[in-house]
């Protein structure tokens, strides 16, 4: 399989050769990537192809190949573009990072920003990002996050622990976003609403509860699965509680408190 890493990085960082002849006036790499993202947002990642994007732009497919070698590189550019949205979901502005904020604000901003990102671009959940390339937007977003977690009001953790915090938060958010997306897709694919789906199961569940074999389930309150419960907010708060415990423990270790004494 062809390794497209170098060609993608050249495009991301602007180090590759630029087309010198032939493209339609007004066609730019930025326009191509924007069109591809818009197409993925509207119809899903499967709809994105060099041919389809060229049609959206009103140009011949070969015009795109003067800017982007193929779909793999195009996807890398799309990922960096959307990852360049700030922790609150707005495009990052050029210039120096914002003044340091508390690690709590950083963690919450990271979580809410990623949730907004997945909601705006559901196709991100279909992408294997195990080897995401660090383009300029992605790297800057990472920089802003690290600055908040390691700065004057940071967590005081090791570098490995700090990155693990980011990975943990991103994993939690992806799980919540995937659950939301799957609920929408299930309703769309089956034509059956969530209400009708669970209503159809009610008679079977009632008979199962009457057997007495599921006392813990039968004992659940009627509002247990209420839509008013904010699973995201609850989970994020519990993550923050756990991080707070770790930060407090590290603080004691540094100051020679109980944690340090226990290691002697």
Q: So what's the pLDDT on residue 16?
A: 64
Task: Give first-to-last CA distance, the chain, whole Å.
Answer: 53
Comparing CA positions, the residue from 54, 137, 131, 56 lying closest to residue 92 is: 137
More confident residue, 129 or 24: 129
* pLDDT tens digits along 170-193: 999 999 999 999 999 999 999 999
- CA angle, corner 179, sides to 214 and 213, nearest 5? 5
Evaluate if residue 21 carries a pLDDT over 80.
Answer: no
Evaluate if residue 196 carries a pLDDT over 80.
Answer: yes
More confident residue, 215 or 21: 215
8 A C-beta contact, residue 65 and residue 112: no
245-263: average pLDDT:
63
8 A C-beta contact, residue 14 and residue 29: no
Beta carbons within 10 angstroms of residue 65's beta carbon:
13
Q: So what's the pLDDT on residue 19?
A: 61
Q: So what's the pLDDT on residue 109?
A: 92
Comparing CA positions, the residue from 54, 48, 79, 247 lying closest to residue 165 is: 247
Residue 235 buriedness (CB in 10 A; 0-12 / 13-18 / 19+): middle
Q: How far is CA 132 from CA 12, 49, 85, 203, in A?
A: 12, 20, 16, 47
Rg over alpha carbons for the chain, rounded to the nearest Å, is 24
What is d(CA 74, CA 36) in angstroms, rounded to the nearest whole number? 8
Q: So what's the pLDDT on residue 36?
A: 98
Q: So what's the pLDDT on residue 61?
A: 94
* pLDDT tens digits along 32-84: 999 999 999 999 999 999 999 999 999 999 999 999 999 999 999 999 999 87
Residue 264 pLDDT class (50, 70, 90 cuts): very low
Q: So what's the pLDDT on residue 234?
A: 96
* pLDDT tens digits along 75-134: 999 999 998 765 344 444 545 555 557 999 999 999 999 999 999 999 999 999 888 899
Q: Is 234 left (phi over 0), alpha (psi -120 to 50) or beta?
A: alpha
Q: So what's the pLDDT on residue 101?
A: 76
Angle, in degrees to the nearest 10, between helices 159-190 and 194-210: 100
């Amino acid at each position: 399989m062809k390794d497209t890493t170098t060609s993608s990085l050249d495009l991301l960082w602007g180090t590759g050769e630029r087309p010198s002849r032939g493209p339609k006036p007004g066609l730019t790499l930025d326009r191509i990537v924007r069109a591809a993202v818009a197409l993925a947002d509207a119809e899903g990642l499967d709809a994105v192809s060099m041919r389809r994007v060229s049609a959206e732009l009103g140009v011949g497919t070969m015009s795109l190949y003067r800017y982007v070698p193929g779909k793999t590189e195009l996807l890398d550019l799309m990922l960096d573009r959307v990852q360049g949205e700030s922790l609150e979901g707005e495009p990052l502005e050029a210039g120096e990072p914002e003044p340091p904020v508390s690690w709590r604000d950083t963690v919450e901003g990271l979580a809410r920003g990623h949730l907004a990102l997945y909601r705006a671009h559901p196709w991100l959940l279909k992408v294997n990002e195990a080897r995401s390339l660090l383009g300029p937007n992605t790297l800057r977003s990472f920089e802003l996050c690290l600055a908040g977690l390691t700065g004057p009001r940071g967590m005081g953790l090791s570098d490995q622990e700090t990155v693990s915090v980011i990975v943990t938060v991103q994993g939690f958010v992806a799980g919540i976003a995937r659950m939301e997306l799957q609920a929408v897709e299930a309703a769309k694919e089956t034509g059956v609403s969530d209400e009708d789906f669970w209503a159809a199961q009610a008679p079977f569940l009632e008979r199962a509860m009457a057997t007495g074999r599921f006392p813990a389930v039968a004992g659940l309150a009627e509002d247990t699965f209420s839509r008013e419960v904010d699973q995201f907010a609850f989970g994020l708060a519990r993550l923050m509680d756990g991080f707070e415990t770790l930060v407090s423990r590290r603080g004691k270790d540094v100051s020679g408190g109980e944690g340090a004494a226990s290691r002697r």
